[in-house]
Amino acid sequence: MISLLRIDERLIHGQVATTWTRQLGINAVVVANNDAAANELISMTLRMAAPTGIKVAVKNIREAVSLLNDKRTAELKILIVVDKPSDALELIRQVSGIPCVNIGNFGRVGDRRQRRALTDNFSASEEELEQLREIAESVRCEVQVLPSLPKKDLKQFL
């Protein structure tokens, strides 16, 4: 069962590895990222960043869709992590049962001149905002860095 899809450009890191997995009772993390899946060093680093006992799969988007649609994953409590809205949108389009999209840290890396700052931890280009609008039409979307902080509906930023 998919518990949450999180957009966080850092993929697996301290907040995801400890806070979110504990809060949601996660026992599996699927990193859906073409670049990470193609780089064994990055894949290994992401797997090592997860807490002991948490299964981690680092897959390209196509492989992640296949894995998440596999009936054998239904018994797991899965956190999906992507680093950009376009990947989240692809998953939303192709995987059923994603209950919510959470936006954590996004848009802080790269050319910020092309992005509009929406919060301290969330910036997006017009193209990314359009992708987020489409996601928000399909599934509940929240902006929330940590589970202990208030949730904000993504639609208020669009």
Q: What is the set of active-site residues?
A: 13
CA 98 to the chain's CA centroid: 11
Q: Which single residue is written with the structure tokens 């957009």?
A: 7
In order of 20, 79, 80, 107, 135, the CA distances from 25 in angstroms are 8, 10, 13, 27, 25
Instruction: Give the other-Cβ count within 10 Å of 88's Cβ.
Output: 28
Q: Could you tell me if 91 and 131 are in contact, meaning their C-beta atoms sit under 8 angstroms apart? A: no
107: left (phi over 0), alpha (psi -120 to 50) or beta: left
Q: What is the token pair recorded at 147?
A: 């589970």
Query: Distance between CA atoms of 132 and 138, rounded to whole angstroms?
Result: 10
Q: Could you tell me if 130 and 88 are in contact, meaning their C-beta atoms sit under 8 angstroms apart? A: no
